[in-house]
Amino acid sequence: MRLALAALALITVAAGLGLRMFMDGPFAKYGGDALYTVLIYVLVLLVWPRLKPLWTLLIAVGASWVIEFAQIVGIPEVLRPVFGSTFNAPDLLWYAVGGLLAFLLHAYGRRSVSESRP
């Protein structure tokens, strides 16, 4: 399971980079925000693979929001490429969208696996 989650994290990073590389405008910006929270969601599951989807959602969106609000007081320059540098309130919505999508896929996957077991 952890190997699959690590692969999913790499795919999420590649999707985010590809989105920013091949597209521009609001779709690329806010799609990247959503994928940022998806990545955090997957990384949380890498650390705690048995964590329930709701807790994983709350941690991932909460971490994304903490990072966004930290931009108000300032993020050290060396960390800005990863955590950003400018607070943008609409980002908060798109973090929630990404977290919700990851939550729905996680919950659906757990349900599918439990239904397939005898």
Min mean pLDDT across 36-45, 71-80, 96-105, 108-117 is at 108-117
Q: In sequence order, what are the residues at sequence separation of 6 or more whose Cβ sits closer than 8 angstroms to the Cβ of residue 92?
A: 64, 65, 68
Residue whose entry in the numeric block shows the structure tokens 């971490």: 63
**Could you read off the pLDDT of 10-39 as tens digits, one per residue?**
999 999 999 989 999 999 999 999 999 999
